[in-house]
Structure 1
Amino acid sequence: MSADNYSEENSIRLTGRLVLRTFGQRSKSEHLGVYLVTDQGDYLIRPAGANPFMNNPLMKLAGKTITAEGYIVDYVFLARSWKEGEEDPRPDAAI
C-alpha cells in the first residue's frame, strides 16, 4: 500500500517525545532512527513524502516533545506537520 493513498480523513494527531534509537539492529539496514514515544506506543517517525534514505530533519529535535499530525503505515508515523511543545506541559512542573 502506497503512502500516497492516504487522505486528510486518515490523519491522526499524536503527542510525544522524540528519541534516537537504533533501527534494524544487526542488519544491513541498521541506522540511528527517530522515534516518537507516545502513550499509544512508539513509532519510527519521518516527514511524509521525505526520502527514507536521507537524513531525518526531526533528528535535531531529539529529546523534545512534539505534537505531530499525519498517518501510520505499518510501524512508521509519517508526519505531515509537527509543532514543538513544552518540555513538561503540567502546570505544577515549574521549579
Structure 2
Amino acid sequence: MSDAKKNKQLTVKGRLVLKTFARTTKSESLGVYLETEDGSFLIRPAGGNPFTDNPLAKLAGKFIEATGRRSDYVFFASSWREIPEPEA
C-alpha cells in the first residue's frame, strides 16, 4: 500500500462503547470501540501507547466526531470532539 493511502486522514462519526477485545486470549482486555454506520472498530489516540489506559474510555456512551486514519480494525484518532446524539 502506498504511503499516501496509509496516511489518508478520515473523519468519522459514531458512538463510543466499551467491549471485550481479544476474548479468550492472553491479550483479553476492555477496548474502546467506535460504532459507526460503516461498522465497529477499535479507536485509540494516534501515537499513544496501546498498553496504557485509553483516554477515550471516559467518553463511553457518547457520540464523537474523530479525525485520523484507519488501519485494519483500529482507528487512530489524531483529534476528536463530542457531538450531540443524532436523531433516530
Instruction: Report the TM-score when normalising by structure 1.
Output: 0.84
Residue 86 of structure 2 is aligned to residue 89 of structure 1: yes
Q: What residue is the counterpart of 1:65 in the other structure?
A: 63
5+ residue gaps, structure 2: none
Q: Aligned equivalents of 1:52 and 1:24: distance in 2?
A: 14
Name segments (4+ residues, structure 1) moved above 3 Å. Answer: none
Question: Whose Rg is larger?
Answer: 1
Taking only aligned residues, the RMSD between alpha carbons, in angstroms, comes to 1.7
5+ residue gaps, structure 1: none
Q: What residue is the counterpart of 2:51 in the other structure?
A: 53
Instruction: Report the TM-score when normalising by structure 2.
Output: 0.90
Which amino acid in structure 2 is aligned with residue 69 of structure 1? Answer: T
**Correspondence 1:1-95 to 2 at 5 A:** 6-7=6-7, 10-86=8-84, 88-90=85-87
Post-superposition shift, 1:74? 1.2
Structure (1/2) with the larger strand percentage: 2
Post-superposition shift, 1:70? 0.3
Q: Aligned equivalents of 1:89 and 1:26: distance in 2?
A: 34
Post-superposition shift, 1:89? 2.9
Q: Aligned equivalents of 1:89 and 1:32: distance in 2?
A: 26
Which amino acid in structure 1 is aligned with residue 86 of structure 2? Answer: P
Aligned residue-pair number: 85
